[in-house]
């Protein structure tokens, strides 16, 4: 099977497997504020991640590219929706385009259609400094995502089987590149062990990409003869991953992603400590079912609802959400308690 065909298969399998709603965000509840002392017109959703100023904490996270005309079309429509809504956008892994120049158009279309937007390039942790520079140049990127996908690679029939030296390569890239480097998971969650290692490097931010969204183990298992079903439930739920990362290294900007489906998910993620929130699977479904205009309208609706929630809890800006009291329950409370975090402290803010 060609790499391009695999990229197209990933889109179809991601849509068919869907999201399992096991992010842990349903275990989070805002404490109602009867006197929030806010007005909707005062609410600002501007934020900053890794030195980048964003008009919205919501952005279109990495999805695809390198699958010929089909992924070129998808990326083009995502870019048009991002432009209309004024949000940032990340492209999928560009390694295919570095190995096959014919695939570059499926990525370059994003910058062509969204000239003034914040665009994030994307490569895996196997990349060299030269490849990272080429990926950034390809889309004139404002930042580079380096994704970690150990479980996906192990489940993928033709995937990598060695992950040695990844931390050193990430450090070299972060040191050499002129744009911020963001390290992200791919749906299995960043925990405190990984974040402490990454904090020693000159990375600008991390994207927890927790368990509960598109499940790339399940996607790859669709392609296997001998299924590795034990990886289908593997990972750190999104809510737990955010708190683990902020508890371990508070000074590093955290991006929430992994199964976020609505503005309440976004607001909860920001309140847990994230500075921004990436959405992918739920937005892809809107695009594939209804087109770019519907996706732009969905993004605008997400912004409106986020402002309403922030007004309700007394948060005039995104950083104010970090001070709002939250009640944690269920598996998320248990996870964080036994991992040495202090979920009760979030209720006393």
- Residues 152-169 have a mean pLDDT of 96
- DSSP one-letter string for 255-315: EE-SS--SHHHHHHHHHTT-SEEEE-HHHHHHHHHH-HHHHHHHHHHHHHHHHHHHHHHT-
- Residues 167-194 have a mean pLDDT of 98
**pLDDT value, residue 13:** 52
- Residues 67-96 have a mean pLDDT of 96
> Could you tell me which of 29, 31, 82, 24 has the C-alpha nearest to residue 54?
82
**pLDDT value, residue 66:** 82
- Residues 20-31 have a mean pLDDT of 95
Residues 59, 117 contacting (CB under 8 angstroms)? no
Tell me: pLDDT of 307 over 60: yes
Which backbone phi and psi does 345 adopt, to 5 degrees?
A: -65, -30
CATH topology of domain 3-347: TIM Barrel (3.20.20)
- Burial class of residue 68, CB neighbours in 10 A (0-12, 13-18, 19+): middle
Reported as a pLDDT band with limits 50, 70 and 90, residue 20 is: confident
Q: CA dihedral in degrees (60, 66, 68, 72; nearest 10)?
A: 20
Q: What is the pTM of this model?
A: 0.94
Q: How do 143-148 and 119-124 pair as beta strands?
A: parallel
Reported as a pLDDT band with limits 50, 70 and 90, residue 8 is: low
> Could you tell me which of 2, 118, 10, 1 has the C-alpha nearest to residue 65?
10
Tell me: pLDDT of 144 over 90: yes
Q: What are the residue ranges spanned by the domains of the chain?
A: 3-347
pLDDT tens digits, residue range 93-125?
A: 999 999 999 999 999 999 999 999 999 999 999
Residues 244, 219 contacting (CB under 8 angstroms)? no
- Residues 160-167 have a mean pLDDT of 96
pLDDT tens digits, residue range 51-69?
A: 999 999 999 999 998 889 9
pLDDT tens digits, residue range 268-278?
A: 999 999 999 99
Residues 92, 65 contacting (CB under 8 angstroms)? yes
* Token duo for residue 259: 């199964």
**pLDDT value, residue 18:** 59
Task: Give residue 165's Cα distance to chain centre.
Answer: 23
Tell me: pLDDT of 159 over 60: yes
- Residues 139-162 have a mean pLDDT of 96
């Amino acid at each position: 099977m060609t790499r391009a065909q695999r990229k197209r298969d990933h889109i179809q399998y991601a849509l068919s497997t869907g999201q399992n709603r096991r992010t842990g965000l349903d275990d989070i509840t805002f404490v109602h504020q009867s006197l929030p002392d806010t007005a909707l017109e005062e609410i600002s959703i501007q934020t900053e991640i890794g030195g980048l100023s964003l008009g919205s904490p919501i952005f279109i996270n990495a999805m695809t590219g390198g699958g010929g005309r089909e992924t070129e079309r998808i990326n083009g429509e995502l870019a048009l929706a991002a432009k209309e809504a004024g949000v940032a956008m990340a492209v999928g892994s560009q390694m295919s385009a570095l190995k096959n120049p014919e695939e570059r158009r499926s990525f370059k279309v994003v910058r062509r259609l969204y000239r003034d937007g914040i665009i994030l390039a994307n490569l895996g942790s196997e990349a060299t400094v030269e490849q990272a520079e080429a990926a950034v140049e390809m889309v004139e990127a404002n930042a580079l995502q380096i994704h970690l996908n150990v479980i996906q690679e192990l489940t993928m029939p033709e995937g990598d089987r060695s992950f040695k030296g990844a931390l050193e390569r990430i450090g070299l890239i972060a040191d050499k590149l002129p744009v911020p480097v963001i390290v992200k998971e791919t749906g299995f969650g960043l925990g405190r062990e990984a974040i402490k290692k990454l904090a020693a490097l000159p990375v600008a931010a991390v994207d927890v990409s927790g368990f509960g969204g598109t499940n790339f183990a399940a996607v790859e298992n669709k392609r296997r003869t001998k299924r590795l079903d034990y990886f289908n439930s593997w990972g750190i739920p999104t809510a737990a991953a955010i708190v683990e990362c902020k508890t371990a290294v508070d000074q590093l900007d955290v991006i929430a992603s992994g199964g976020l489906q609505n503005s309440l998910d976004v607001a909860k993620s920001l309140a847990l400590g994230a500075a921004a929130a990436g959405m992918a699977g739920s937005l892809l479904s809107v695009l594939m079912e209804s087109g770019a205009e519907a996706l732009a309208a969905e993004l605008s609706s997400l912004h409106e609802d986020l402002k309403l929630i922030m007004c309700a809890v007394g948060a005039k800006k995104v950083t104010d959400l970090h001070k709002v009291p939250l009640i944690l329950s269920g598996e998320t409370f248990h996870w964080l308690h036994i991992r040495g975090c202090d979920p009760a402290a979030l209720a006393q803010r």
